[in-house]
Amino acid sequence: MLIWQLLSMLFDSSLLFPTPKETIRSILRILETATGWRSIGATVLRILCGYLLGCVCGVLLAVLTAHTKVFAWLLRPLRTVIKTTPITSFALILLITLVSDLVPIAVAAIVVVPMIWRTTEEAILGLDDKLAEMGRVFLSPWKHLRFVSLPQILPQFFATASTALGFAWKAVITAEILALPKRGIGNQMYLDKVYLDTADLFAWTLLVIICSVSIETLLGYLLKKAGERHD
């Protein structure tokens, strides 16, 4: 906060670098409006939908490529392509075929998939063979999954899932700025840039950070509790 205040004094212009006080005032003004809450809600909903979709697809692809060599050979190059292609490219390409409200969800899912896919696949391939063999002999398939496989897979999955949520936030905000859906934080940031409302732009950025940290903390707590319960 001190560095922020010093920089704002150095620029001496709210247009170029607003003060912390001006930014907090803008945050309070945003939170007093229904439009502000609708924008936050729309973005959070898109992030959660894209994130969950990416997790499900990533796990399914991991199971497929870990157990079938042909699919592993065919699909692993696709994972590399997804990881190396810029988010902007995905958003612009999807704008051709999808409505603007769905583009951020699709982009978030695309960003999350390779992270979950790789981690889950490596966890499956790293399962203890002797333990698995013993489980197949003495346990039913469901109990084998629950008591043998999942305890070895979930720690790596949970760690990556928490990290992937942060990337989903960045992907959705970027996609919203490009796709300009009817409501969303990215849409508001774009409008603030157009109208040179730097204080509001800083305010929305700070709100993104607060929301992201809050949701990641909540997810981390839930994943920790889920892991403890499973243990």
Domain residue extents for the chain: 37-124+161-230
State mean pLDDT over 141-170. Answer: 77
Q: What is the pLDDT of residue 145?
A: 62
In sequence order, what are the residues at sequence separation of 6 or more whose Cβ sits closer than 8 angstroms to the Cβ of residue 227?
154, 155, 158
Of residues 218, 176, 202, 206, the one with CA closest to residue 39 = 176
Q: What is the pLDDT of residue 36?
A: 92
Candidate ranges 145-149, 154-158, 168-172; pick with highest mean pLDDT: 168-172
**Spatial separation of the C-alpha atoms in residues 8 and 24, rounded to whole Å:** 14
Cα 204–chain centre separation = 18
**Spatial separation of the C-alpha atoms in residues 124 and 133, rounded to whole Å:** 14
**Spatial separation of the C-alpha atoms in residues 209 and 228, rounded to whole Å:** 28
> What 3-state class would DSSP assign to 19?
coil
Indicate the pLDDT class of residue 231, thresholds 50, 70 and 90. low
Dihedral angle sign, alpha carbons of residues 181, 186, 188, 189: negative
Q: What is the pTM of this model?
A: 0.85
Q: Are 167 and 51 in contact (CB under 8 A)?
A: no
